[in-house]
Amino acid sequence: MTDTTEFRDLTTLKVGGTILDFREPATRSDLIETFRDVSSGREPWFLLGGGSNIVVADKPFDGTVIRISTRGIDREIDGDRVLVTAQAGEPWDELVEWAVANRLEGLEALSGIPGTVGAAPIQNIGAYGAELADTFHSLQFVPPGRGDIVTLRPDALNFGYRQSSLKDGLNGLVVSVTIALNPSETSAPIQFEQLASALGAKQGESVAISDIRRAVLELRASKGMVINSDPDSVSVGSFFTNPVVTDQFSRQLPADAPRFPLDAERTQRVVPLGIEPEFVDYDTVSRGVKLSAAWLIERAGIGKGFALSGSNAALSSKHTLAIINRGGATANQVLELARFITIRVHDTFGIMLEPEPTMIGFD
C-alpha cells in the first residue's frame, strides 16, 4: 500500500494522522503470517478493524497498521445449538443479519453495532440488554511473536461490562470468533424495557427475531447510533462507559439519578461432607450499581449539541454520550471536549468518567 494512508479515512470519528506502514492481508493465512512478522519486530503495531472504537492522535503513527478484512461465515450443528464461526474481518452487523435470515436466535439485539467480528470480544459489545458474552463460545487467537494459534474460551476472557482480558492487557490477533446460537425464529424473553415498548410488547415477552432486529435498527438510527449519512453518527458511539459505583455512593446522588443494580454474586459456603448443614447459607457480595453517564453529563450542565468555542468536535444533537466530528475536527479537539466533560462531571458528582474507545498515539 502507499505510505499516505490516513487514520482519519479509516475511522468512524474521522480523526487520526498518517499511517507510515499500512498492510491489509487478503486471506486468513496472509493475515496470520503478516501479524507474526510484524509483531516479532521492534516497531509499534496496531490491529485495525472498522475503526469504530478508536480515537487516534493527529500525529503520524510511526509503525505498522494491519487492517483486518478477512471474510467468511461457517456453521456447524452442536447438539441443539448451532455453532457459527465468522472470520475477524466480517462486518459485525452482516453477521447479525445473516443469523436472523438463517433463523438463528441470539444476536438480534446486537443489530446495527458498527465494526468487525474480531473486535466484538475486545470490549464485549453490548446493547439493549444483550452482550456478546451471552452467545460467545470461543475464539481463535495468535499471541504476538511467533506463537501458535490457540483457542480461547470464556474463562480465559473475563468478560464484563464493556470489558475483557483482551482490552485489559491480553495482546494478540483475534483470527475468528465462534458463537453458539439457537435454531429459532423467536427471541428469548426481552429484557430491555425500551426495546419491549418499541415493539409494543411487555418485558419478558418473546417476539420474532426479525422484529427485534428491525426495532433495534430503528431505535439506534433515531439516536445516531448506526453509521449512515446522519452527521450525528460521525462518532465512536458512546464516548464514556456508564460508571459503576458502590450502593452507598449511589445513595448520595439525586433521587432521580438512574440506577441499575448489578446482580449480587452468590457464593455458597462449603459444608464438609458428612456434616449436616444447619441452614443454607449464602454470602452475597454486591457488585455495585451502574449509573447513566448520559444522565450525569446532562445534569452537570452539558446538553446535547454542546461544543467548546472554536471547536469542530461537539456532543451529538441526539445523545449526550456521543462526541461527534462536525467536520474537520482534530483528535485534540475531541480530547479537549472529553476532558471538559470529565472535569465537569467530576466537579459536580465526584465521579470520574472513563472513555470507552481505545486511545492511540496520545502522550
Ligand X SMILES: Cc1cc2nc3c(=O)[nH]c(=O)nc-3n(C[C@H](O)[C@H](O)[C@H](O)COP(=O)(O)OP(=O)(O)OC[C@H]3O[C@@H](n4cnc5c(N)ncnc54)[C@H](O)[C@@H]3O)c2cc1C
Interface of this chain with ligand X, residues 57 to 86, rule: CB under 6 A = 68
Report whether 51 contacts 10 (CB < 8 A): yes
Secondary structure of residue 104 in the 3-state scheme: strand
Please select the residue that binds ligand X; options are 225, 296, 334, 338, rule is CB under 6 A.
Answer: 225
- Quick one: 125 or 179, whose CB is closer to ligand X? 125
- Residues 111 and 124: their CA atoms lie apart, in Å, by 14
Which of 8, 23, 162, 213 is an active site residue? Answer: 162
| Closest to ligand X by CB, 221 or 346 | 221
- What does DSSP assign to residue 101? H
Question: Does 96 interact with ligand X (rule: CB under 6 A)?
Answer: no
* Closest C-alpha to 68, from 179, 178, 176: 176
Q: Which amino acid is at 37?
A: D
Q: Does 114 bind ligand X (CB under 6 A)?
A: yes
Place of cell 516479532: 40
Between 113 and 201, name the residue whose CB sits nearer to ligand X: 113
Residue 105 is inside which H or E element, if any? strand 104-105
Q: Is 23:67 a contact under the CB 8 Å cutoff?
A: yes
Stretches 57-65, 124-132, 197-205, 239-247: which one binds ligand X (CB under 6 A)?
A: 124-132
Q: Which of residues 227-246 bind ligand X (CB under 6 A)?
A: 227, 233, 235-237
The residue within the footprint of ligand X, chosen from 5, 39, 53, 178 (CB under 6 A), is 53
CA distance linking residue 313 with residue 333, whole number of Å = 6
356 belongs to the catalytic site: yes
Question: How many residues of this chain interact with ligand X, rule: CB under 6 A?
Answer: 33
Distance CA 145, CA 40 (A): 4
162 is catalytic: yes
Distance of CA 148 to the CA centre of its chain: 27
Could you tell me the three cell numbers for 2? Answer: 502507499
When asked if residue 16 is in the footprint of ligand X (CB under 6 A), the reply is no
Contact call for residue 17 and ligand X (CB under 6 A): no
Place of cell 415477552: 205
DSSP, residue by residue, 109-130: GGTT--SBTTTTTTTT-EETTE
Which is closer to ligand X, CB of 232 or CB of 253? 232
* Active-site hit among 111, 187, 238, 250: 238
Residues 6+ apart with CB under 8 A from 99: 84, 105, 106, 107, 108, 181
Q: Is 48 in the site for ligand X (CB under 6 A)?
A: yes
CA dist 104 → 28, 95, 107, 188, 240 (Å): 25, 11, 8, 11, 32
Question: Given the rule CB under 6 A, which of 55-63, 112-120, 261-269, 341-349 is the region that contacts ligand X?
Answer: 112-120
Q: Cβ 260 to ligand X, closest distance in Å?
A: 16
- Least CB distance from residue 363 to ligand X, whole Å? 18
Binding residue (CB under 6 A) for ligand X from 15, 19, 38, 47: 47
Inter-axis angle of helices 92-101 and 209-222, to 10 degrees? 150
Measured from the CB atom, is 233 or 250 closer to ligand X? 233
- Shortest Cβ 172–ligand X spacing (Å): 6
- 209/197 Cα distance (integer angstroms): 15
Applying CB under 6 A, among 84, 88, 195, 302 the residue interacting with ligand X is 88
Question: Of 253 and 318, which CB lies nearer to ligand X in the complex structure?
Answer: 318
Give the footprint of ligand X on residues 171-200 (CB under 6 A): 173-174
Which of 16, 17, 25, 50 lies at the binding interface for ligand X (CB under 6 A)?
50
Q: Near ligand X by CB under 6 A, which window of 36-44, 121-129, 195-203, 277-285?
A: 121-129
- Please, are residues 96 and 213 in contact by the beta-carbon 8 Å criterion? yes
Its sign, for the CA torsion 134, 289, 54, 168, is negative
Q: Indicate which residues carry an active-site annotation.
A: 162, 238, 356
Interface residue list for ligand X (CB under 6 A): 12, 46-54, 68, 88, 113-116, 118-120, 122-123, 125-127, 173-174, 225, 227, 233, 235-237, 358
